[in-house]
Amino acid sequence: DGFEVPLKEAILLKKNTRYGIRALIKGPSSQRGTNLINPVQCSGVTFTFFTSEDPGSRTDVREGQLPILLFSL
């Protein structure tokens, strides 16, 4: 059980550039992924995840709330 969080518009990502995704999740405790794969390769693209520099973040590269990232080439 989950939900989609669509972006208002497509974002063109640049190679070797770090991007951050932030979500404010309210309500009761939710499930979180653990033992994540890092880096992830798909369709010739490599995604490398880093621990957030945000001191308020409660997730890191080992466990987190965003289980999937959809992209197109």
With a CB cutoff of 8 Å and minimum separation 6, the contacts of 39 are 46, 47, 48, 49
Residue with the larger pLDDT of the pair 5 and 44: 44
pTM of the entire predicted model: 0.67
Burial 1-38 (b: 16+ CB within 10 A, else e): eeeeeeeeeeeeeeeeeeeeeeeeeeeeeeeeeeebee
pLDDT in tens, 24-67: 778 887 777 777 788 889 999 998 888 888 887 777 777 776 76
Give the pairing of strands 33-34 and 40-42.
Answer: unpaired
Residue labelled with tokens 């770090």: 18
